[in-house]
Amino acid sequence: MSDVEYLRLKLTAHLDFPQKGIVFLDIFPILRDPIAFETLITHLLYHLTSHTIPSIPSKKIDVVVGLDARGFLFGPIIALRLGAAFVPVRKKGKLPGTCETATYVKEYGSDSFEMQSDAIKPGQSVIVIDDLIATGGSAKAAGELIAKLGGKTAEYLFIIELAFLKGGSKLDAPVYSIIQSD
């Protein structure tokens, strides 16, 4: 069995969560199994270090940006293993100090994201990590925050991509997803 199949089999689908009509894909069973969790991290690191990302010819990644909240669960591990900084994007009002703000509409509801204004330096190469891309609204807001600070987003990484929603078409850099779901 491939690592992708192994991770796919761990996902569970929950009908009508968090509201009626939504089928929510849960990644937590991956984190419950240390072998699956390690497989996830190794898969992402292999992608980032063995495949050429066109916008980072040197493969040097300065900053890993994780999205509130499930991007915080594996983004810092990827950052540590790459020797990169980890920067959180959080829901509005959660971060201290001067922040940049971007508003987005998601699959259900709308919200604002913030990033600390000194978190990224102009010219730094950045990757964005979250568990799932649906409409791409939250990832787009994160990309806007990175651009406001002068960072260069090289790639957006997700465990799952709801491919039929074509969220990646909204983004300013390529998407890499381990599992594509229709």
Among 62, 100, 131, 161, binds ligand 5GP (CB under 6 A): 131
Q: Closest CB to ligand 5GP among 51 and 105?
A: 105
Which contacts (CB < 8 Å, 24+ apart) does range 74-79 have? Answer: 74/37, 74/40, 74/41, 74/44, 74/129, 75/129, 77/41, 78/41, 78/44, 78/45, 78/48, 78/129
Asked if 10 interacts with ligand 5GP (CB under 6 A), we say no
Question: Is 5 a residue of the active site?
Answer: no
Question: CB 102 → ligand 5GP: shortest distance, Å?
Answer: 12
Question: Is 70 a residue of the active site?
Answer: yes
What is d(CA 82, CA 16) in angstroms, rounded to the nearest whole number? 38
Q: Closest CB to ligand 5GP among 147 and 163?
A: 163
Max Cα-Cα span within the chain:
48
Considering only residues 97 to 116 of the shown chain, the ones binding ligand 5GP according to CB under 6 A are: 106-107
CA–CA distance from 151 to each of 22, 43, 68 (Å)? 34, 25, 19
Which range touches ligand 5GP (CB under 6 A), out of 24-32, 35-43, 72-80, 110-118?
24-32
Asked if 94 interacts with ligand 5GP (CB under 6 A), we say no
Q: Looking at the annotation, which residues are catalytic?
A: 70, 107
